[in-house]
Chain A
Amino acid sequence: MIQNFILMNGYGFFVWLSFAITFLACGIVYYKTYKTLKKYEKDFAKELDQLSETERKLVLDKSKVASQFLASYNKSI
């Protein structure tokens, strides 16, 4: 039964390769996207950290995204 499932009546090579290519490509794109996002998050947090206290306060007051980002980033680390 397992052999039938793997061989798929002679079409196993085409079926398994199709699924493998699809999920491998999706996996690679996911990994690359995730890595890039984390890199940008880390760099942005580092830049916010390098600002003086007053500059940072000004940035966080003026930019909703920066304040939301910092809140979620601090929670995740």
Chain B
Amino acid sequence: MKLKLFHSTVLLFSLFSAAASAQDDAVAVDRGQKTFMRVGCYECHGTDGKGNEAGTALTPDTLPPEAIANFIRFSPGRMPVYPEEVLSDAEIEDIVAFLESVPPSPDADDIDILKGLTPEGE
């Protein structure tokens, strides 16, 4: 009986922890999305980080926060430099959480008007 009670308690705790963790993740995703918009990442990378000619795709295969921080603190190219005073490491972690939550795009071959395109224009 005691063992059953113990198992139930552990299960409840685990469920609670998972729910709390999921909630934390959702909060981080929401915060990350807001930061992504506020500091203007979306202007070059798109509102969901899918990228375009102005800014590279940030998702899928999002880089870890440290790699992103390293790049944007010392950007050598057209990308504006974001110092820590403008965008903190914690905010970058939130942005990564947001980018990892973005659902993947369809494949070109699954899109009717992209499927038949050829370089010869036929």
A and B bind: no
- Report A's interface with B, CB cutoff 8 A: none
